[in-house]
Amino acid sequence: MMNEGWNRNLERLAFGTLVALLLSPVVAQGLWRPLVHVLGPAGTAGHVTGSALVIGGAMALVTAWNPARTPLLALGVGALVAIGASFGFSLGLPGLLTLMIVTIAMGFLMRRLFTQLPTSLDGLAKRHKLLTALYVLLAVASVVSSARLSIFIGDSSRVEQQVLPGEKFLETHSCLTAYVQAATLSRQRVDNLYAHKWWHGSHGFPPAEPGVENPYRPFVLDYFAYPSPFLLIMAPLAPWEGDFLAQRALWFGLSSLLLVVGLWVVARWIDGPGAHRVLLLAPIFFGSMPVLATLQIGNFQIAVVVISVLAMVAFDRNRHVMGGALLALTILSKLSPGLLGIVLLVQRRFRSAVWTAGFGLLFLALSVLTIGVNPIQSFLTHTLPRISSGEAFSFLDDTPFNILTNMGPFGLPFKLQLMGFDVGDPWVLARRIGRVYTVVLVVVAILAARRTGDRRTQAITWMSVLVLAALQSPFAPLYTTIGLLWAITLLSAEVRRFRDGLALVFLWLVLTVIPPIRLSLLVGYTLLQSAFTIGIPIWLIVRTGRSSSKPSAVEP
């Protein structure tokens, strides 16, 4: 009977197991460090991750046998593994509680996942054996990469487990340090939390004064350049103030789960033939290097893209209150999603725009009540002009690494200069390009508002708008391409011929791979990356290509 149940939906069993193996270490490491902070140290991050993987895989297999009748059996198996691992690896109470929560979470998730997976997955493995073999390889790589990262999140000394072992910058860089530092300064009610004196020791600033301890070791302090209402989002980390490693783990867990929710909601919301391809590619996207690297450094960009897209999905479902709250939160936190506000206005979706504005005022009021009016004034008068001029990113041209990793139009003159071209003062030219790009953004937003199509086309348009908006920053690292990479997974539904699929693979590789070539060639390669990062989203918005509502000639 067990084999019969598994054979009936082999693809759904495999996909559910893949999801369990990806999520169980994420949940575990999001919990373990915070629990260690409360209950005391016990065990190792490696043993916690390994035990979580066993729990996730075992519960997926048991649940897949008969999703409707085996919830208690699955929970029992998971609990036995949790108890055995806790005693066998001396994980103590923090480890036991972590693994028991992983068991409950996986039990809840697996039962619902198997019953909601589309039947269009059934039989794909037999019909497409070569693609299935390739998918399995990518899936295994995703699981291994995410599991390794979870170990590094739980134990910052395990640098060999980070996304790119040996990359010193990623090894010690954490955007979360800036968020935590700003939240701490806001609670202290300093006059200007953006003032340079609070950020000595961060990238591009003078070193910290002798004797001043770095509370974020082994990570280097980053600089904070977000609007102050963003600090409302930091509330869940406040109970762990003073323990940055616990805050980092919790932030990683929350960010990862938010991404998973966004991938699931969008994959199930879109329609049309081939839409199940988007669902299949979601775990591969999650386990890709750019996504995992962004989760590792704790940057908020993934959350910005996911929350903004979920807001637009909510508007489409006539859930204006939820959509307004989500979009207002991202606009006040990062500004760039405000371009979607232009889209709403041009489309005459005034109810959605009003709810967004209303929640914006509410969040602004909450920010004033909690941290005062000074941070908002300081951002508008001190930081925002410096962001616009690029002064806030004075390190932009310090090293070839900073120049090469900047995907935004503002960085183009610096790359050209690095190649040997005479551009005069690159800062002057960059500011002119930035002003022109702002006008282009408004035009593109209007074009995006006039773009019609099915749900998948709309989602691609929103993601493209968010990528272009993020590139307006004078310094736009590789994580700004996250929205474009997500859009590529949605474009997979349009693949009808081999060359179409090959083109998407080529685009993905260009955006994510930096080859080990000499500097002169590398600058040219990153110029190509910048051109694709800017040009492809614009093309996706203005194109009159095939609608995904047309029948597909080839099933994936």
pLDDT at position 305, please?
97
Question: Would the pLDDT of 353 be above 80?
Answer: yes
Give pLDDT tens digits for 502-525: 999 999 998 888 887 788 788 888
Alpha carbons 334 and 43: distance in angstroms, whole number:
38
- For residue 2, what pLDDT band results from cuts at 50, 70 and 90? very low
Give pLDDT tens digits for 198-214: 988 887 777 877 777 88
Reported as half-sphere exposure (CB side, CA atoms, 13 A), residue 516 has a value of: 0
pLDDT at position 69, please?
61
Give pLDDT tens digits for 417-465: 988 888 889 999 999 999 999 999 999 999 999 887 889 999 999 999 9
* Helix ranges (DSSP H) in 66-160: 71-88, 92-116, 124-127, 129-154
Alpha carbons 400 and 234: distance in angstroms, whole number:
33
What burial letters (b/e) apply to 484-495, b meaning 16+ CB within 10 Å?
bbbbbbbbbbbb
Question: Would the pLDDT of 500 be above 70?
Answer: yes
Alpha carbons 183 and 220: distance in angstroms, whole number:
17
Question: Would the pLDDT of 171 be above 60?
Answer: yes
The closest alpha carbon to 472, from 408, 424, 527, belongs to 408
Mean predicted lDDT score pLDDT of the chain:
89
Question: In this structure, are residues 56 and 24 in contact, taking their beta carbons and an 8 Å threshold?
Answer: yes
Question: Would the pLDDT of 295 be above 80?
Answer: yes
Classify residue 95 by burial, with Cβ atoms within 10 Å: 0-12, 13-18, 19+: buried
Give pLDDT tens digits for 176-198: 999 999 999 999 999 899 998 89
pLDDT at position 489, please?
95
Give pLDDT tens digits for 85-106: 999 999 999 999 999 999 999 9
Alpha carbons 57 and 111: distance in angstroms, whole number:
13
Q: Which helix (H) or strand (E) holds 314?
A: helix 301-316
Which one-letter DSSP state was computed for residue 355?
Answer: H
Alpha carbons 494 and 488: distance in angstroms, whole number:
10
Report field, pTM of the whole predicted structure over 0.75: yes
Question: In this structure, are residues 156 and 220 in contact, taking their beta carbons and an 8 Å threshold?
Answer: no
Q: What share of the chain is helix, strand, coil (3-state, %, to 5)?
A: 75, 0, 25
Share of residues in the chain with pLDDT > 70 (%): 95
Count the neighbouring beta carbons within 10 Å of the beta carbon of residue 518: 7
| Overall average pLDDT of the 338-354 stretch | 95
